[in-house]
A and B are shown apart, each in its own frame.
Chain A
Amino acid sequence: GENVEQHPSTLSVQEGDSAVIKCTYSDSASNYFPWYKQELGKGPQLIIDIRSNVGEKKDQRIAVTLNKTAKHFSLHITETQPEDSAVYFCAASRTNRDDKIIFGKGTRLHILP
């Protein structure tokens, strides 16, 4: 079945440095790739998404890149801040509303002072 692999499972970076989280997906028909951030005690919240007709998307310190040929996509956070500490989930889905979204297992990001 469809699968999304996410790496690393844990990531520690110095405040101000960049963080990169990578995901690969198995379903070549996937064309929507959202990223969610889950803070302690809360449910995941969408932070950025990308569709298959776009190779890169940026929103302030956050950017996502997509390589459809290789079936992988990445989240880049620059100039990391303490409030970036959280668990991040990547996901993949198709356009069809009857297809479920598949999540990666998450990356716990620690921003070190």
Chain B
Amino acid sequence: KAGVTQTPRYLIKTRGQQVTLSCSPISGHRSVSWYQQTPGQGLQFLFEYFSETQRNKGNFPGRFSGRQFSNSRSEMNVSTLELGDSALYLCASSLGSSGQETQYFGPGTRLLVL
């Protein structure tokens, strides 16, 4: 079974631009969660989507948004990029039926904002 894939793997943008990241979950998984990882801050939860609906949301500004499609693939968008948005963005998929499921992470998209 193929793992979680994320595209692109690396991205360089300038301040003020917007960016869209993509995540394809493991086949059969209906939940996709997004995290921002920066040195010293660990994994900061952005949001979770389940069956095309946002089920949970972290404490990030409205510039960060996401969506999920009927095939469970998910995208996240960051508008008006700031230098502080430079980070590794990880997505994780799971079946989504309970809180005790293993989350399977993708390799991440490394975003650099100049």
Contacts and interface: CB of A to CB of B under 8 A. Distances in A.
A51 interface: yes
Interface residues of A, number: 29
Given A43-B92, A44-B90, A44-B105, A95 B99 contact: yes
Interface string A81-106: 00000000100011111111111111
Interface string A8-44: 0100000000000000000000011010100001111
Contacts, number: 67
A105 to B, nearest CB: 3
Interface of B: 4, 31, 33, 35, 40-43, 45, 48, 50, 55-56, 58, 90, 92, 96-100, 102-108
Interface of A: 6, 9, 31-32, 34, 36, 41-46, 49, 51, 89, 93-106
